[in-house]
Amino acid sequence: MWNFIFRSVAQRLILLVIVSFMAHSFIHLAPGEPSEVDPMNPRMKPEDIAKIRAAFHLDDPLHVQYAYWIRDLASGELKSFKDSQPVLPKIWDRFLNSLPLFILATILVWTLAFPTGIYGAVHRGGLYDRSTVFFSYALISIPSFFLSYLVILGVVEWLGVPVISLKTFGMDQADPAYKIMDRVWHLVIPSVMSALAGIAVLSRYVRSQMLEVLSQDYVRTARAKGLEEDTVVYRHALGNALLPFVTMFGFLIPGLIGASVIFEQIFAWPGLGRLGYEAILARDFPVTMTLIFFTAVLTLLGTFISDVLYAVVDPRIRLE
């Protein structure tokens, strides 16, 4: 076990270096310049542009630029091109904004998908099952941004309350209880919207997984023993059906950065996805690179956790 962990961490570290170097090259090979180097500004002279390029190390060879980036990232003094603010605190602030959205959406997906899927599997072919199949495919097919617009329009039109951003604008003087609940409300719609597709997909998985397990011999045996149907389904079948989902947990983690770009854009949510999106548009290389780096770290961490969890929950698997 320890041997596996050690080897796997070492491999991932090497992979991380390769990934970050490749990402660095891709970013710099893509056409376009940081918006500070503005060749379409009629007033900018070649001398001025050369000065800015030199300050950002843009004329150095790629591997030297990479070394600068690593050095600054390690010392915590990496600065954004855009506003010269340190990158790490900037990412941390946005991370704190994105986190509740991510957590709530994840909880919604996992708590709602299971009952929906299990019920569908148990009552296979019934009206409920068929209508959840229909709605699942509908939710998977309709673009989520389009649905979000409809929901925002509906809520503002019929309920008359604000939905976008972190909180209602101008609530600074309100009671703390109201402030907290206001924040919760502003979380609800974006997280529901970003959870919808997840619920649809995951409940499909749960359903098919349950169906597979329910047709196994040991389930038949359990029923033959005369056990209650609920005991059969929830004790004998569910436990085994859950196994593959444990590994999915690990893959969720990188979604923290990338998954929410569209929702953060529509709901004016100052999170990580928007930070990354805007950094890419402005060719803000330090911010883009650091975010890609963290995404890679989270992905590798996620797969690692999956591997370990799998061994922990499934006694048949031994990690060597």
Q: Where does this chain touch another protein (CB under 8 A) — which range of 11-19, 184-192, 285-293, 308-316?
A: 184-192
176 belongs to the binding site for another protein (CB under 8 A) = no
Nearest CA among 111, 310, 98 for reference residue 202: 111
C-alpha triplet 228, 232, 236: angle, nearest 5°: 150
55-74 residues in contact with another protein (CB under 8 A) are 55, 59, 61
Q: Where does this chain touch another protein (CB under 8 A) — which range of 49-57, 136-144, 209-217, 291-299?
A: 49-57
Q: Where does this chain touch another protein (CB under 8 A) — which range of 127-135, 177-185, 212-220, 288-296?
A: 177-185
Q: Where does this chain touch another protein (CB under 8 A) — which range of 9-17, 39-47, 134-142, 246-254?
A: 39-47
Nearer to another protein, 37 or 296 (CB): 37
CA distance 171 to 179: 7
* Binding residue (CB under 8 A) for another protein from 9, 11, 41, 62: 41
* Binding residue (CB under 8 A) for another protein from 13, 156, 312, 317: 156
CA distance 89 to 8: 30
Place of tokens 């402030």: 179
* Binding residue (CB under 8 A) for another protein from 15, 184, 312, 317: 184
Nearer to another protein, 118 or 200 (CB): 118
Which tokens is 226 given?
């005369």
CA distance 177 to 166: 16
- Per-residue contact track with another protein, 110 to 129, x per CB under 8 A? -xx-xx--x-----------
* Binding residue (CB under 8 A) for another protein from 20, 69, 90, 260: 90
Nearer to another protein, 166 or 311 (CB): 166
DSSP string, 101-126: HHHHHHHHHHHHHHHHHHHHHHTTTS
Q: How far is the CB of 3 from another protein (least distance, A)?
A: 36
> Contacts with another protein: how many residues (CB under 8 A)?
83
CA distance 20 to 79: 18
Which long-range contacts link 123-132 to residues 24+ away (Cβ below 8 Å)? Answer: 124/211, 129/207, 132/203, 132/207
CA distance 24 to 60: 13
Q: How far is the CB of 105 from another protein (least distance, A)?
A: 12
279-308 residues in contact with another protein (CB under 8 A) are none
Q: How far is the CB of 291 from another protein (least distance, A)?
A: 15
Helix residue spans in 215-320 (DSSP H):
217-224, 229-231, 238-252, 255-258, 261-266, 272-281, 285-313
Q: Where does this chain touch another protein (CB under 8 A) — which range of 15-23, 131-139, 230-238, 249-257?
A: 230-238
* 185 in Cβ contact with 169 (< 8 Å): no
199-228 residues in contact with another protein (CB under 8 A) are 228
Q: How far is the CB of 246 from another protein (least distance, A)?
A: 16
Nearest CA among 188, 23, 211, 57 for reference residue 125: 211
* Binding residue (CB under 8 A) for another protein from 63, 64, 77, 218: 77
169 belongs to the binding site for another protein (CB under 8 A) = yes
* Binding residue (CB under 8 A) for another protein from 164, 248, 301, 319: 164
DSSP string, 38-68: -TT-TT--HHHHHHHHHHTTTTS-HHHHHHH
